[in-house]
């Protein structure tokens, strides 16, 4: 191996170069480093976007390939209920509604059908205590849906209803 001379290692060698030459050498190195960093960043962004955008159609194809399980719907009869008055002087208010019950398996419809009087009774008892102000806005309807779902699942246990779907609702 060859030994390096003192001229190359010494800072005196750097003094021999003019300031313009030293600045140009450092400037070229910085330019090359920034260019390389930019190229790496662009390649990462390009690769990430290719992966992100080209992967989406494969997911959609995979979702379409999965077999969709059939669901069952159980229609309940239309019900009309007196609502509790907001104050003593209020006139009578009525709620008229019709719902469907959604179950994961159509075979469950046959199990739940004989229990419908129990479900209707639980709905009637709950709805008679509601006031018209309880049903205002989407939040009121969401709460009503959740409470009806809870009550129907208690009434049809061990079967399970997945959703209560409103078909018609009128408050007078």
> pLDDT tens across 121-130, in order?
998 889 888 8
- One domain for residues 39 and 102: no
21, two tokens: 């030459």
Claim to verify: residue 18 and residue 86 sit in the same structural domain: no
Query: How far is C-alpha 121 from the geometric centre of its chain's CA atoms?
Result: 34
Range of the structural domain that residue 111 is part of: 72-171
5 domain-assigned? no
38 plus 76 within the same structural domain: no
Rounded CA-CA distance 80/96 in Å is: 4
Question: CA distances (Å), 144 to each of 19, 48, 115, in order?
Answer: 81, 45, 21
Distance of CA 44 to the CA centre of its chain: 29
Is residue 95 located within the same domain as residue 163?
Answer: yes
pLDDT at 165: 92
The pTM (predicted TM-score) of the whole model is 0.57
Domain closes at, from 31, 50, 65? 65
Both 79 and 17 in a single domain?
no
Number of domains in the chain: 2
146: preceding bond cis by omega (within 30 degrees): no
Contact 132, 171 (CB under 8 A): yes
The CA distances from residue 128 to 1, 35, 56, 102, 160, in Å, are 99, 74, 50, 24, 25
Whether 157 and 89 map to the same domain: the answer is: yes
| Residue 6, domain member (yes or no) | no
3-state helix, strand, coil in the chain (%, to 5): 60, 20, 25
In this structure, are 89 and 166 located in the same domain?
yes
Pair (151, 82) in one structural domain: yes
Below-70 pLDDT ranges, the chain:
1-25, 55-67
pLDDT of residue 61: 57
Residues 107, 30 share a domain? no
The answer to whether residue 2 is domain-embedded is no
For position 144, which CATH number holds? 3.30.479.30
CB 148 within 8 A of CB 99: yes
Question: Which tokens in the block code for residue 50?
Answer: 């290719």
Q: Is residue 121 assigned to a domain?
A: yes
Cβ proximity of 118 and 155 under 8 Å: yes
- pLDDT for res 62: 58
Of 50, 65, 80, which residue is a domain's last? 65
Same domain, 78 and 162: yes
Distances (CA, A) of 99 to 10, 41, 132: 91, 56, 18
């Amino acid at each position: 191996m060859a030994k390096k001379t003192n001229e190359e290692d010494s800072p005196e060698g750097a003094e021999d170069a003019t300031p313009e030459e030293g600045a140009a050498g450092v400037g070229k190195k910085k330019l090359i480093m920034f260019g390389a960093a930019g190229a790496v960043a662009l390649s990462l962004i390009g690769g990430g976007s290719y992966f992100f955008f080209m992967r989406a159609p494969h997911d959609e194809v995979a979702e379409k390939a999965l077999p969709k399980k059939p669901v069952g719907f159980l229609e309940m009869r239309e019900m009309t209920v007196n609502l509790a008055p907001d104050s003593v002087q209020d006139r009578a208010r009525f709620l008229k509604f019709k719902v469907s019950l959604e179950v994961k398996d159509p075979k469950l419809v046959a199990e739940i059908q004989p229990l419908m009087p129990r479900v209707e009774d639980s709905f009637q008892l709950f709805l008679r205590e509601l006031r018209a102000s309880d049903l205002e806005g989407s939040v009121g309807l969401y709460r009503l849906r959740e409470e009806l779902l809870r009550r129907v699942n208690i009434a049809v246990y061990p079967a399970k209803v997945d959703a209560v779907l409103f078909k018609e609702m009128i408050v007078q």
